[in-house]
Structure 1
Amino acid sequence: MIINYPNGQPYRFEPDKSQSTTNQVSSRDQAVVFGGRGMTLEETINESNEFYRQQQRAVIYKKPTPIQIVKVDYPQRSKAVIREAYFRQASTTDYNGVYRGYYLDFEAKETTNKRSFPLKNFHQHQVDHFQNCLQQNGICFTIMRFTSLARYFLTPASLLIQHWQEQKDGRKSIPLSEIETSGYELTLAYRPTLDYLNAVDQLIQKTNLKN
């Protein structure tokens, strides 16, 4: 199937090879780490979100990508095959929802790097979206996975925005040391697979103290 961007350029799928998290929670417990083995970051978060909904802790979903279908073949009367489609518009962030009365909005990314997280994994429209949501008092963050380190971090969107604005004058990545300091390290477990809401609680508390 061919999928094109709104400007007509073809979309070439490249597997995302990066993701992470920070401070208070460590992934040292080998007894439960098996729970997330073999899963992509997206699968891990989706499974966690399903558990949260079942437990009525939060209502969070992955945002669908709007696609305009332009060519469909019907090899069988009961089966349609999409041959060509276009992204209707640039997507914003991966996930959003409601938790404890707060609007949550976040992006999930991963990297094979060991010492920093590349800014090229993000896009200007995503940074703009974070800024707009923060102006409306939304709780915005990224979930990053360092695949080669098997470490996950939840980091406030403000950290991404800061480094995004500074990249014109220097570094094109966020050092792991800053992610460890400013973020919250997450652990893999059984149910949920990645319990990131505990880190969100800390981010909400920190945000409220600032306000």
Structure 2
Amino acid sequence: MNFSYPNGKRYVPKEQAAARAGKEKNLAYSNRGMTLEQDLNETNEYYLNRGTAVIHKKPTPVQIVNVDYPRRSAAVIREAYFKQASTTDYNGIYRGKYIDFEAKETKFSTSFPLKNFHAHQISHMKAVLDQEGICFVILRFSSENQVYLLEAEHLLAFWSRMEAGGRKSITRAEVEEFGHIIPLGYQPRIDYIKVIDYLYNLS
């Protein structure tokens, strides 16, 4: 039997309402776009499992300041702080070449803010290039879910422009001109190796 409130709204038992809300929440989560980090981690796992490349995300340094030992065999971290990363997000090897890159995303659709990068990361990228490593950044415009690979030498040029008093971002037109769009797929999700093959004749 169905019941309705005086305003005409149908009465739904709490149990059914909770189950429905949970189902809608799960559906919403399943439809959300994955983060750039998740997509890249899945891509790198795909490469690793198929013997294509060995690329890993560097662990985030953490400073632990307070630990409790409720049992001799267990420790509980009560207080910790993230240290500022000293280099880039990912590194590894592909066809005998050292690979090093940073991954960033922005909600802006017309430019990519350079404040997303840190001076020590820029210095690290320059050092990698000086050693003839392959270094780049992967940029995602999250509003349109478009991903680009931008070689580090271009990022360094835009950074130098900013330090000289120029604009504090890379325009979308510049990303499109100097970068390389990476079509999103299923497996792998972000196949940046194809772009590396094209740029460095490694295929």
Are 1:163 and 2:138 matched, yes or no? Answer: no
Partner of 1:112: 107
Judging changes above 3 Å, is the alpha-carbon distance between structure 1 residues 60 and 36 closer, same or farther for their aligned structure 2 residues? farther
Distance 1:36 1:48 in 2: 19
What are the within-5 Å matches in structure 2 for residues 31-70 of structure 1? 38-70=33-65
How far residue 70 of structure 1 moved from its aligned partner, in angstroms, is 2.0
Letter in 1 for 2:153: S
Tell me what 1:82 maps to: 77
State the partner residue of 1:95. 90
Aligned length: 172
Query: Taking structure 2 as the reference length, what is the TM-score of the superposition?
Result: 0.78
In the TM superposition, residue 76 of structure 1 has moved relative to its aligned partner by: 6.3
Task: Report whether the alignment pairs 1:202 with 2:187.
Answer: no
Q: Which amino acid aligns with 1:128?
A: S
Is 1:179 paired with 2:175? yes
Q: CA RMSD in A?
A: 2.2
Q: Which has the higher contact order (CA 8 A, sep 6+)?
A: 1
Larger radius of gyration: 2
Equivalent residue letter for 2:138: I
Cα shift readout 1:93-137 (whole Å, capped 9, x = no counterpart)? 000000011100000000011111000000000000000000000
Change (3 A) 1:149 1:38: closer
Which stretches in structure 2 are left out of the alignment for 5+ residues?
1-29
Aligned partner of 1:200: which letter? I
Aligned to 2:142: 147
Shift in CA distance, 194/90, structure 1 to aligned 2, threshold 3 Å: closer
Query: 2-side partners of 1:59 and 1:84: how far apart?
Result: 33
Task: Give CA-to-partner distance per residue, 1:53-112, whole Å, 9 cap, x none.
Answer: 000000000011232322113456665331223456642100000001110000000001
**Percent sequence identity over aligned pairs:** 56
Instruction: Indicate the residue corresponding to 1:4 in structure 2.
Output: none
Whole-angstrom CA distance in 1 between matches of 2:31 and 2:140: 12
Distance 1:73 1:202 in 2: 52
CA contact (8 A) 1:92 1:125 kept: yes
- Please say if 1:135 is aligned against 2:130: yes
Gaps of 5+ in 1: 1-34, 207-211
Q: Which is further off, 88-97 or 123-132?
A: 88-97
CA deviation vs aligned residue, 1:112-166 (integer Å, no higher than 9, x gap): 1111100000000000000000000000000000000110001101111011111
Aligned residue in 1 for 2:24: none
